[in-house]
């Protein structure tokens, strides 16, 4: 009697995940340390807001390490289908930390705005912000490359967060520079823009992870892709039923297919196994369940 699904260790996959985690965690800890020190020395609220954003990234990184460690554990009797649902659950906790960072950035910007702003001397703040944008751009390309290899929605989200940080650091750079050469209020205004970027990223991350946890269905494009994969198997006449839902970050597909009613049982079983194999070869699909019916049978 088999109680849990098949599991085959994938050392290369584990190595890619570890690489992504080290890049994310190490890069964010380094950046929040540099930004916090520079904000303290310069007094730039835009830089403080950007440091708050980086602090949320550190929390995100720590939770991601824990969440992906749980999600990659093999199936057992307590979780016979695996532990992948832990990944979006941790993602919701990350969303809360991002929201808090946005609130802190907005609060500091409001206080500085009401005080009339402060002219920030060019130098350290602008250099740190440009340096931060460069580091985050490098992290974006590195994590995107690994996300493509692993087909990981979590890493895709992390890569997009890095890209957002490039934009927020650029906004903070404009604010810190403009406070001296244009108007002191440009610094808190830039801080508000940074806060808005954080809230936007938190909203998108929360929506995506809620979809994974609440059983959202596949996109129309992916549904057609699943049907085409099933109908490409010799012996399959058509697919007349398909339901998909996310169980964690990947899909479960339930298909009903039609075959010739005179097909021998052994051949029918082979067709079923081949359909499952082809559908599960789609990176977004975790597992497929196939129900076979004779031709002209519609349930």
pLDDT by residue (tens digit) across 241-265?
999 999 888 899 999 999 998 899 9
Phi-psi domain of 58 (left: phi exceeds 0; alpha: psi -120 through 50; beta: other): alpha
Beta-carbon neighbour count of residue 254 at 10 Å?
Answer: 14
Euclidean distance between CA atoms 102 and 273, whole angstroms: 49
Q: What is the pLDDT of residue 298?
A: 56
CB 38 within 8 A of CB 124: yes
CB 5 within 8 A of CB 41: no
> b/e per residue, 78-97, with b = 16+ CB within 10 A?
ebeebbbbbbbbbbbebbeb
What residues contact residue 97 under an 8 Å CB cut-off, 6+ apart?
Answer: 56, 59, 60, 63
Task: Describe the chain by its helix, strand, coil percentages, rounded to 5.
Answer: 65, 10, 25
- Quick one: which H or E segment has residue 180? helix 153-181
Rounded to 5 degrees, what are φ and ψ at 77? -65, -25
Rounded to 5 degrees, what are φ and ψ at 3? -105, -20
pTM: 0.73
Residues of the chain with pLDDT under 50: none
* Exposed / middle / buried, residue 232 (Cβ in 10 Å: 0-12, 13-18, 19+): exposed
CB 143 within 8 A of CB 21: no
H-state helical runs in 182-245: 186-213, 220-231
> What CA–CA distances, in Å, run from 83 to 21, 78, 247?
18, 9, 10
CB 281 within 8 A of CB 229: yes
What residues contact residue 216 under an 8 Å CB cut-off, 6+ apart?
Answer: 245, 246
Tell me: the pLDDT tens digits for 190-233? Answer: 778 777 877 888 888 888 888 888 888 999 999 999 999 999 99
């Amino acid at each position: 009697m088999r109680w849990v699904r098949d599991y085959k260790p994938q050392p290369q996959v584990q190595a890619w995940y570890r690489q992504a985690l080290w890049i994310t965690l190490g890069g964010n800890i380094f950046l929040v340390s540099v930004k916090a020190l520079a904000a303290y020395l310069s007094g730039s609220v835009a830089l403080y807001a950007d440091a708050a954003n980086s602090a949320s990234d550190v929390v995100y990184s720590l939770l991601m390490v824990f969440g992906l460690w749980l999600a990659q554990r093999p199936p057992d009797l307590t979780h016979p289908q695996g532990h992948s649902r832990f990944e979006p659950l941790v993602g919701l906790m990350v969303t809360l930390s991002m929201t808090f960072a946005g609130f802190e950035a907005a609060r500091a910007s409001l206080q500085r705005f009401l005080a009339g702003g402060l002219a920030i001397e060019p130098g350290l703040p602008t250099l740190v912000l440009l340096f931060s944008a460069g580091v985050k751009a490098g992290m974006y390309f590195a994590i995107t490359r690994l996300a493509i290899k692993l087909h990981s929605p979590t890493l895709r989200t992390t890569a997009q967060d890095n890209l957002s940080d490039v934009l927020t650091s650029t906004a903070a750079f404009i604010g810190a520079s403009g406070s001296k050469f244009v108007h002191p209020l440009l610094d808190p205004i830039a801080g508000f823009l940074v806060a808005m970027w954080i809230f936007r990223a938190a909203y998108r991350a929360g929506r995506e992870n809620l979809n994974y946890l609440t059983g959202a269905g596949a996109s129309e494009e992916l549904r057609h892709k699943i049907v085409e994969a099933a109908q490409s198997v010799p012996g399959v006449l058509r697919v007349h039923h398909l339901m998909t839902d996310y169980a964690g970050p990947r899909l479960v597909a339930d298909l009903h297919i039609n075959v010739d009613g005179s097909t021998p049982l052994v051949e029918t079983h082979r067709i079923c196994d081949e359909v499952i194999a082809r559908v599960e070869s789609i990176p977004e699909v975790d597992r497929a369940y196939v129900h076979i019916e004779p031709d002209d049978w519609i349930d």
